[in-house]
Amino acid sequence: MSTENPNRLAVGYLATPSGNDGVALASAIAAKTGAALDLICVVQPIPYDGQPGLEQYMERLENQAAEWLSQGASHVPDGIEVRTVVTVNESFTEGLIDVAEQSGASMIIVGGTGDGLFSRHTLGTVSTELLHSSPMPVGLAPRGYARRRNVVIDMLTVAVPTKHSDSDPLPFSIGFAELASIDLRLLSLVSLEIPDADDESLAVRKHQVNVARQLLEETRDHVDAELDIDVLVADGNTLDEALDNLPWDDNDIISVGSGHLGSDNRVFLGPTAARILKWTTAPVIVVPRGTTA
């Protein structure tokens, strides 16, 4: 008798290029972690207006959603378990979260929108709502991720917070890297937010870089895991410049914590994470506050 894989990823799906981007990211993660995929399409109910045929019309909508999911599942590589789920809910986001929680998923994965810059992140309604409400980590695929070929995730970059009040994605990231058997890179961002810095400001920034590097080295020394861990300090006159200086390739993925305004065990997109989304070409996982694994 076969048993269901308890390691599951929930993928919000529509028959669009961004829907395929989400499937591609979920497949890349599943290939490294052994996870199974739940492809989920949420159908909004039609209010009863007294006219006959409503039940049949809803059935047609659900059948259409099932056909879309079948198309999405066809893009999942062989060897990865995939299940399709059609659910009815007024809200796509709430329906997606409900199914993810019922299945015991460890992450929700979606694509962005189809009108942003290629290889960049553009948030739509569903991804924005998830980034301010999800009780589990949210994985975001950049536009065009499905077009990348031979992606094998081999590096997880962790945006290490510099303030104790900030949400720390490191515990989750260590568990993810161990499960996926990939390298870990600890990242700190340093910026004075002064476009035309003078010598004194540059000296202050140099000091901040040294402090940040020391913090990362200390963090690495305290990681109790058999992982290949690198450290990187990205600096610039502005945070955007620091982010623009970072090197990425097709096999990278990033994890960031939630903003300090968010509640425990919920994702909340903070300003630093939002700017990382703006500049990176890599997929991003936003981790809820208080997540330990």
Which of 95, 113, 147 terminates a domain? The answer is 147
- Bridge partners (DSSP) of residue 184 are 156, 229
* Claim to verify: residue 56 and residue 187 sit in the same structural domain: no
Tokens at residue 56, please? 């049949």
User: Which of 32, 39, 40, 30 lies closest to 5, judged by CA?
Assistant: 30
8 A C-beta contact, residue 276 and residue 239: no
Assign residue 40 the CATH number of its domain: 3.40.50.620
- Which of 147, 179, 211 finishes a domain? 147
Residue 284 confidence (pLDDT) above 90: yes
Is the domain of 257 the same as that of 189?
A: yes
| pLDDT average, residue stretch 21-25 | 97
Q: Where is pLDDT greater, at 293 or 273? A: 273
pLDDT of residue 82: 97
Are 161 and 281 part of one and the same domain?
A: yes
Return the bridge partners of 113, or none: none
pLDDT at 1: 41
> Are residues 210 and 99 located together in one domain of the fold?
no
**Model confidence over 154-199: pLDDT tens digits?**
999 998 876 665 678 988 999 999 999 999 988 887 665 555 555 5
The confidence score (pLDDT) of residue 144 equals 93
Count CA atoms closer than 13 A to 27's CA, side-chain side.
23
Count of beta carbons in the 10 Å neighbourhood of residue 282: 23
The DSSP symbol for 116 reads S
Lowest-pLDDT range of 2-11, 139-148, 280-289 = 2-11
What pTM did the predictor assign?
Answer: 0.88
DSSP secondary structure, 254-267, as one string: EEEEPPTTSPBTS-
